[in-house]
Structure 1
Amino acid sequence: MAPGSFAEYTVVPAHIATLVPAVTPEYLTLLVSGTTAYISLKELGGLEEGKKVLVTAAAGGTGQFAVQLAKKAKCHVIGTCSSAQKSAFLRSIGCDRPIDYSMERVGPVLRQEYPGGVDVVYESVGGAMFDLAVQALAIKGRLIVIGFISGYQTPTGLSPVRAETLPAKLLQKSASVRGFFLNHYLSEYREAMGHLVKMCASGDLVCQVDLGDLSAGGRFTGLEAVFRAVDYMYMGRNTGKVVVELPHSVNSKL
């Protein structure tokens, strides 16, 4: 959680480092993605047994954790994804109703199968998906915004908010929209990270990593592969957290 991404080495104070049981990429998934899902759902989700939870981009780096944590809270989980492979992955981690939007439309599925709406939406796509999520909210429903990947490549990174319609839609349902940015919840970070590391180590949490083996150029190895990894993520090809491997270089003087 310190500045210095896209580097082979970085120096951080020991007190902000996290001790992990093994040097494996699975633990990297927890640093931002795992803690974002854990803290946001704990602080803003109000999860209870039987609640219906919709997770967008559910097979992605953060969505995978939202699905699993909601299931552990005994919720009914719906997850959107873009392929049959991702749909199968979601079922494997407990998702009750994967919606592969390459094969079926999200809006009609939600209206037909969940006419009473969903209680919590964990939203990271933005744009048209955000609009569908607002429409799908149940009475007193909660929508948690943790990102908007569909707008990251626009000049401002933001899409216009239709202020003339959103308030009415929320008012009609006594619903709410809350934004979550991890840096504003760092007081909760250490506890969350410790809990997630134990879950991962015990096998109680699936921490899916995508090293790019199925990408056009093969596995993401070395800093020169970062641009491919980012493109791969923006194209929605990844299942789980995208990780770039950095080869170890041994210096006998160290």
Structure 2
Amino acid sequence: MQRVRYYEYGGPEVLTVEDADPPAPQAGQVLLRAEAIGVNFVDTKFRRGSDSGSIFQRPLPGRPTGDVVGTVTQVGPDVDRRLVGRRVAALAEDAYADYVVAEASWLATVPDHLDSGDASMLAMSAPVALRILRAARLNPGDTVLIHAAAGGIGHLAVQLAKVLGAGTVIGTARSSRKLDFVRNVGADVAIDYALPDWPDQVRAAAPGGVDVVLDAVGGSVLQSSLDLLAPFGRTVVYGAATGELERVPVVKLFALRSVTGFNLTAWRHANPDQARQEMGELADLFAAGQLRTTVHASLPLTEAATAHELIEARSHTGRILLIPTTPPAA
């Protein structure tokens, strides 16, 4: 089979396509024959090593993670053999490969006829989008500000905010094309957060302040967002694309504001039953057409470097997929 790893930190060019034997599933694991792999922004940060900041440190060799859609071909000891032949989605390490090992306990069953783009969201992106809204205690009619709303998680969060009853949804992005995309997926207002007056534009759209902020950008964007919260407003921080982990000034919280952090792994450990229930809930929303994924590009697995270039150029909207091209083993 083919797989992609990196043996030094650096730009997309360090991603190396190599031949390898398929991995063997261990206890609690399954082996997937991949049909598509969703590429995530965070792996471009891990690939660059220390240049990305202290929170993006991974040892070498680098094994990119990804949202794998595929068919179970083999199960490890103590795993239900009835999973063999089932089409599933999973967040996995060493994911840029024809065959991928995944944890059996966190497989998302893919509804019939769901395409690879939608299916790739079931294991990680959609669960994060739903849970950050619920962590923010979204109420019907709330005004929601979603940063990076054109991204893989962001464009689902816009749609889910509407599904959950939000009033006004404000999405931020960069470039006019991305702003059009944000409006097309359901945002009432789209604002370019690269402009220095973006906070004033938010205030114009929400004179009383925003009730909920969803932020994975960090840095000055997070700092300005805290000032935009209405009394009892809630911010959920679930990433730091800038690599800047600012201290949250407590004085800003005295105005009846709150900040919560979110991490999918921590959520799964804290409440695994509800986490699994929400994966099923999201699968139903996709199957019913209430959620949809935009696939910006589907590239051969061997063009993983191109996928990372697109992500780092911030030129994509929605999802980028890698497609394995090696024929299945006989």
1:227 and 2:305 aligned: yes
Closer/same/farther in 2, CA of residues 92 and 9 from structure 1, 3 Å limit: same
Match of 1:58 in 2: 149
1:145 and 2:227 aligned: no
- Structure with the higher fraction of residues in helix conformation: 1
Q: How many residues align?
A: 233
Match of 1:111 in 2: 203
Match of 1:37 in 2: 129
Q: Secondary structure at the match of 2:102?
A: coil
What is the alpha-carbon distance in structure 2 between the residues aligned to residue 32 and residue 193 of structure 1? 9
What is the alpha-carbon distance in structure 2 between the residues aligned to residue 115 and residue 74 of structure 1? 20
Note if contact 1:83-1:101 (Cα within 8 Å) is conserved in structure 2: no
Provide Cα deviations, 1:118-161, integer angstroms capped at 9, x if missing partner: 0100001111211121111111110000111111xxxxxxx252
What is the alpha-carbon distance in structure 2 between the residues aligned to residue 132 and residue 18 of structure 1? 37
What is the alpha-carbon distance in structure 1 between the residues aligned to residue 193 and residue 247 of structure 2? 24
* TM-score computed with the length of structure 2 as normaliser: 0.66
Closer/same/farther in 2, CA of residues 127 and 72 from structure 1, 3 Å limit: same
What is the alpha-carbon distance in structure 2 between the residues aligned to residue 74 and residue 90 of structure 1? 18
- Structure with the higher fraction of residues in strand conformation: 2
Alignment of 1:80-229 (within 5 A): 80-101=172-193, 105-151=197-243, 159-162=244-247, 166-171=249-254, 173-186=255-268, 187=272, 188-211=274-297, 220-222=299-301, 224-229=302-307
Match of 2:7 in 1: none
Computing the radius of gyration over CA atoms, which structure comes out larger, 1 or 2? Answer: 2
Match of 1:216 in 2: none
Give the deviation of 1:13 after TM superposition.
Answer: 5.3
Closer/same/farther in 2, CA of residues 112 and 13 from structure 1, 3 Å limit: closer
Give the deviation of 1:102 after TM superposition.
Answer: 5.6
1:240 and 2:318 aligned: yes
Which piece of structure 1 moves more, 52-61 or 84-93? 84-93
Give the deviation of 1:180 after TM superposition.
Answer: 0.2
Give the deviation of 1:7 after TM superposition.
Answer: 2.3
Provide Cα deviations, 1:189-248, integer angstroms capped at 9, x if missing partner: 31111111111122111122221xxxxxxx5211x3222212321221111122222224
Q: Where do 5+ consecutive residues of structure 1 fail to align? A: 152-158, 212-218
Letter aligned with residue 299 of structure 2 = F
Letter aligned with residue 197 of structure 2 = R
Give the deviation of 1:103 after TM superposition.
Answer: 6.6
What is the alpha-carbon distance in structure 2 between the residues aligned to residue 41 and residue 229 of structure 1? 28
Provide Cα deviations, 1:39-58, integer angstroms capped at 9, x if missing partner: 2212x111112111000000
1:67 and 2:138 aligned: no
Q: Secondary structure at the match of 2:150?
A: coil
Q: Where do 5+ consecutive residues of structure 2 fail to align? A: 1-90
What is the alpha-carbon distance in structure 2 between the residues aligned to residue 250 and residue 50 of structure 1? 50
What is the alpha-carbon distance in structure 1 between the residues aligned to residue 320 and residue 101 of structure 2? 23
Q: Secondary structure at the match of 2:231?
A: strand
Note if contact 2:203-2:209 (Cα within 8 Å) is conserved in structure 1: yes
What is the alpha-carbon distance in structure 2 between the residues aligned to residue 11 and residue 86 of structure 1? 35
Letter aligned with residue 176 of structure 1 = S
Closer/same/farther in 2, CA of residues 147 and 102 from structure 1, 3 Å limit: closer
Q: Secondary structure at the match of 2:108?
A: coil
What is the alpha-carbon distance in structure 2 between the residues aligned to residue 108 and residue 238 of structure 1? 26
What is the alpha-carbon distance in structure 2 between the residues aligned to residue 27 and residue 140 of structure 1? 36
Which piece of structure 1 moves more, 10-19 or 234-243? 10-19
Closer/same/farther in 2, CA of residues 199 and 160 from structure 1, 3 Å limit: closer
Match of 1:154 in 2: none
